[in-house]
Structure 1
Amino acid sequence: MPATDLEQIVNLCKRRGFVYPSAEIYGGFRSSYDYGPLGSLMLRNVKDAWVRAMVQERDDVMLIDAAILGPHAVFEASGHLANFSDPLVDCTVCKKRFREDQLEDRDCPQKMKGCTFTEARAFNLMFKTHAGPVEGEGTDVYMRPETAQGMFVNFANVLQTSRRKPPFGIAQVGKSFRNEITPGNFIFRTREFEQMEMEYFVPPAESAKWYEYWCQERMNWYIEYGIPAEMLRLRAHASDELSHYSAGTSDIEFKFPWGWGELEGIAQRTDFDLKRHAEYSKQKLDYFDQATNERYVPFVVEPAAGANRTMAAFLLAAYDEDMINDEPRTVLRSR
C-alpha cells in the first residue's frame, strides 16, 4: 500500500540513494537536498516523461531553455517585484519568523503557547543578486521564481522561427528559486526546485475551452504513470487565492501524508503577461491572423508542475512492504 508517513519515504530515500540532505557533513542546509544515484535518474525520468507527453508526442508545442538570471525590467513588467510576496510575522517570544497564513502549522519551539506576533508585512520571495564587479543601481538581477517569464519574453522569437499560429505552446523545464519563509515537508517545498511549465497561446475566445482541455489532459498524465486516481483531485481556486495574473486556476492535488498538496496548477493567465511585456519593452507581442485579417494578443493557458514534488508523489504512491521470512522489506511498485 502507498506510504502513510512521510518518514517512510525520507528514510528510504537516504538509505537507497535517492535524496540526501545538502551539505550534510556540515550539519545540512535547511530545505536543500542533493539527489543521489537513483534519485537523479528518477527525477530525470519524471522530466523526460513530461517532455515526451507535452512536446515530443505533439506537433503544437516547442521546447526552449531560457536563462535563470533576469534583469529588473523583466520582473517589474511581470508584476513579481510588486506582488510576489507572502505575509511575514515575527514571534515576539521565540523570535522565529512565520507565514501569517500558516500559523496553525508552524514549527513552534514554545509548543504554540504564549506566542504573540508582530503585524504582518509583505516579504518578497525573489532572490536578488548583482551582475558585474560593481554593486549599484542598474546591476540588480534576480533568479527566476518561475520559468514562465522566459517563455513570454521569447514569444515573438518562437512565433517567427516556428511559423506557428495559435493555438500553440512554448514549454520549458528548469530550475526556479523562491526565498520561502517556511519551506518544509522534505522535497515538497524547497527554495531551489525544478519546474515543468508550458505556456499555451490561444485565441481569446478559445481560452475557456483550452483551460478545460489542459485540466483533464494533465490529470490523465499522473494516472497514466501509476498514481491511483483516488489519491488525486482537481481543486478550483477561490477568488482570494488567485494570482495577480489569473482569471481562474485549478490545482491538481495529491493526497500526501500531511494532507492534500499541489502537484500542478493550470491557470488562465489571459493576455496579462504579453501585454505587460509589450508595454514595458515597447515591442509588439501579438499575432496577426491573415485568414481573418485580425490582430490580437493571445490569451494563455499555463499548466505548471513541480518536478521534485511530482517525484515525491510517485515515490509515495509506489511505496509498499513485503514480508520475507517474517521480516518487512520495502519495495517500490512503479511504472
Structure 2
Amino acid sequence: MDKIVAFCKRRGFVYQSSEIYGGIRSSYDYGPLGVEMKRNIKEEWWRRMVHMREDMVGLDSAIIMHPKVWEASGHTATFNDMLVESRTSKRRYRADHLIEEATGIDAEGLSPEQLTRIIEEDERVKDPADGGRDFAPVRPFNLMFETYMGPVKTPENLAYLRPETAQGIFVNFKNVFQTSRVKVPFGIAQQGKSFRNEITPGNFIFRTREFEQMEMEFFVEPGTDEAWHEYWIEERWNWYTDLGLKEDNLRRYEHPKEKLSHYSKRTVDLEYNYASVGWSELEGIANRTDYDLKQHAAYSGENLEYFDQVTGERYIPYVIEPAVGPDRIMLAFLVDAYTEEEVKGEVRTVLKLHPLIAPTKAAVFPLSKKEPVSTIARELYDDLKGDYRLFYDDSGSIGRRYRRQDEAGTPFCVTVDFDTIEDKQVTIRDRDTLEQERVPLAAVRDRLKALISG
C-alpha cells in the first residue's frame, strides 16, 4: 500500500489535504489524474445503473436534512462505533479493531461490556502507541457530525451532516413514484458526499471522514425480494469484472445473521483484496426489507404505501440496496492495475486500467517538433479533444513519452511521424500489448472510440 500511496502523489492522483500546513488526518484531495479517474468511475456507475435501464431514475438530495430523518432511521440512537481510550497515551481507538489486530478475535458487534472484558483480560491487547494496558471502559461513540442551522447554536437548531445518502432516497420515495410514472419494481440511484466521524480512519482513501457514496434503493414487491437480492449481487459483481477487476481479488462475504444491521434481512459484501490491507468490504448489497419506509411513515405520519394498479393491492415495498463509494472503487482499481514488468531489460511501471475508467484516454505525440509533423499532430489533437480527456506531449524521446503515459494509465498513444506526411496515416500503440497499428488520419476518431468502448 505504501507504494500505491507514493505513486498516487508522484503521478498526481491523490494528495494529502492541506499538506503545506502539515496535512489533516484522513482527508485527501484528488489531483489532475485522480479527479478524472474518479469522475469516470462515477459516470460508468451511473451509465450502468441508470442510463442503461428502464426501471431506474436518479436523485440528488440535500446533505443537511431534518433531524427527525435520523431519528426515524435509527442513526441518532444506534449509529455508533465502540470507543476505547488509553489512559497512558490519551489516544482513542475503535475497540473492536484494537482487539482484532492484537488477537485475531472478530469483535465486531459485541457490546461495550463484552469488549471491555476482553481488553481487561487478554494480555495481548496493548496500546499501539506506548504498549500500555491501562484503558478506560469501552463506550459508544456516535459517528454523525453535528452542526447548527442558523446563527444561534441551540438544541432546536441542531442538525447533522448526512452519514449516508440512502435516507434522502427513502424520504423522497413518494415524490418520485408520484411524479416519475415508475412502477414497482423500480430503483432510485444517487451519488453524493457523506460524512462519518470515524474513530480510526486510515488505509489511505479506503476509510475517511468525508467521502462520496453511490447508492441505489431498488423497491420490490414483498416476496420477490430474495430473488431480486440475488440478481443485484450478480449484477454488481459483473460490473467490476466487466471493467477489468481481477476475479482472483474479488469475493463474496455473507454477513452472519447475528451481525446483520438492524434493518437487514440479508447482506452480502463484495470484498476486494487490498494489498497489505487484506480482504475488506468494497461494496455491500443489503436486503433492507420494508424497515426504512415503515420507520419514516411512522415518524412523519405520511402514508408511504404503494398501490399496485394491476392487482389492486397496497403494500410497503421491500428494498434491495447496493451501496458503494467511488473512493474505495478507485483504490481497488489502482491496486489491481499497478504493474511492474520487464520490457527489453528495463522495468516498466504501467497502470493497466480499463479504457473506460482511465484518466486520459489517449495521448497524441508528434515524432518531431519540426513542421509539418508538429502541425499535423496539433491539428489531430484539436480535432479529437472534447470527446474525452486527451494529452499532447512533444517533449523528450518517443520511448520516454510512452513510459510516462504507461505509468499514468493512458491506454492508447497516437504518434504522428514523417511517414504521415505522405501516407496520411498515424500509429496507434496499445499500452498493454505494446502492439502498434497504422490508421488513416480520417479514421482515428472512430478507431479510438471503438478501442475505448472495448
Same fold? TM cut 0.5: yes
After superposition, residues 213-228 of structure 1 pair within 5 angstroms as 213-228=231-246
Q: Equivalent residue for 1:51?
A: 46
Paired amino acid for 1:125:
L
Aligned to 2:86: 91
1:329 Cα deviation (Å)?
3.3
Shift of 1:171: 0.2
Q: Which amino acid aligns with 1:75?
A: W
2:69 to 64, 68, 74: 74
Structure-1 residue corresponding to 2:200? 182
Q: CA deviation at 1:306?
A: 1.3
1:22: which partner in 2? 17
- Which among 303, 306, 331 is matched to residue 287 of structure 1? 306
Aligned counterparts of 1:324 and 1:295: Cα–Cα separation in 2? 65
**Percent identity of paired positions between Structure 1 and Structure 2:** 58
Please report how far the alpha carbon of residue 91 of structure 1 lies from its aligned counterpart in structure 2 after TM superposition: 1.0
Distance (Å, rounded) in 1 between the aligned partners of 2:64 and 2:32: 28
Residue 254 of structure 2, aligned match among 236, 241, 244 = 236
Structure number with greater CO (CA < 8 Å, separation at least 6) is 1
Is the partner of 1:101 in helix, strand or coil? helix
Aligned residue number for residue 316 of structure 1? 335
**Corresponding residue SS for 1:169:** strand
Distance in 1, matches of 2:331 and 2:228, equals 28
**1:8-51 alpha-carbon deviations (Å, 9 max, x no partner):** 21011000000000000000000000000000000000100100
Q: Which blocks of at least 5 consecutive residues in structure 2 are unaligned?
A: 103-126, 355-454
- Please point out which of 95, 101, 106 is paired with 1:105: 101
Deviation at 1:105, TM superposition (A): 3.1
Cα drift, residue 240 of structure 1: 3.0
Normalising by the residue count of structure 1, what TM-score does the alignment of the two structures yield?
A: 0.95
Letter of the 1:140 partner, please give it.
L
Deviation at 1:256, TM superposition (A): 0.8
- Whether contact under 8 Å (1:87, 1:123) holds in the other structure is yes
Q: How many angstroms does 1:326 deviate by?
A: 4.9
What is the alpha-carbon root mean square deviation over aligned residues? 1.2
| C-alpha deviation, 1:286, in angstroms | 1.2
Task: Figure out how many residues of one structure are paired with residues of the other and give that number.
Answer: 328
**Aligned: 1:300 with 2:304:** no
Aligned pairs (5 A) from 1:129-144: 129-144=147-162
1:255-274 alignment, distance < 5 Å: 255-257=273-275, 258-274=277-293
Structure-2 separation of matches of 1:20 and 1:207: 42
Moved over 2 A (4+): 104-107, 322-329
Q: Which runs of 5+ in 1 are unaligned?
A: 1-5
Checking the alignment, whether the CA contact within 8 Å between 1:183 and 1:191 is kept in structure 2 is yes
> What is the distance in 2 between the residues matched to 1:326 and 1:140?
63
| Equivalent residue, structure 1, for 2:145 | 127
Separation in structure 2 between the aligned mates of residue 127 and residue 328 of structure 1, nearest angstrom? 46
Distance 2:158 2:344 in 1: 62
For the residue of structure 2 that corresponds to 1:69, the secondary structure is coil
Residue-by-residue CA offset, 1:262-310 (whole Å, 9 max, x unaligned): 1100001000000110111111111011221110000000000111010
Question: Could you tell me which of 151, 154, 159 is aligned with 2:169?
Answer: 151
Offset, 1:132: 0.5
C-alpha contact 1:71 1:140 (8 A) present in aligned 2: no
Letter aligned with residue 105 of structure 1: E
Name the aligned partner's letter for residue 145 of structure 2: F
Shift of 1:327: 4.6
SS at match of 1:201: strand
Superposition TM-score, scaled by structure 2 size: 0.71
Determine the C-alpha separation between the residues in 1 that align with 2:343 and 2:287: 51
The answer for the alignment partner of 2:228 in structure 1 is 210
Match in the other structure for 1:116:
134
Q: Secondary structure at the match of 2:65?
A: strand
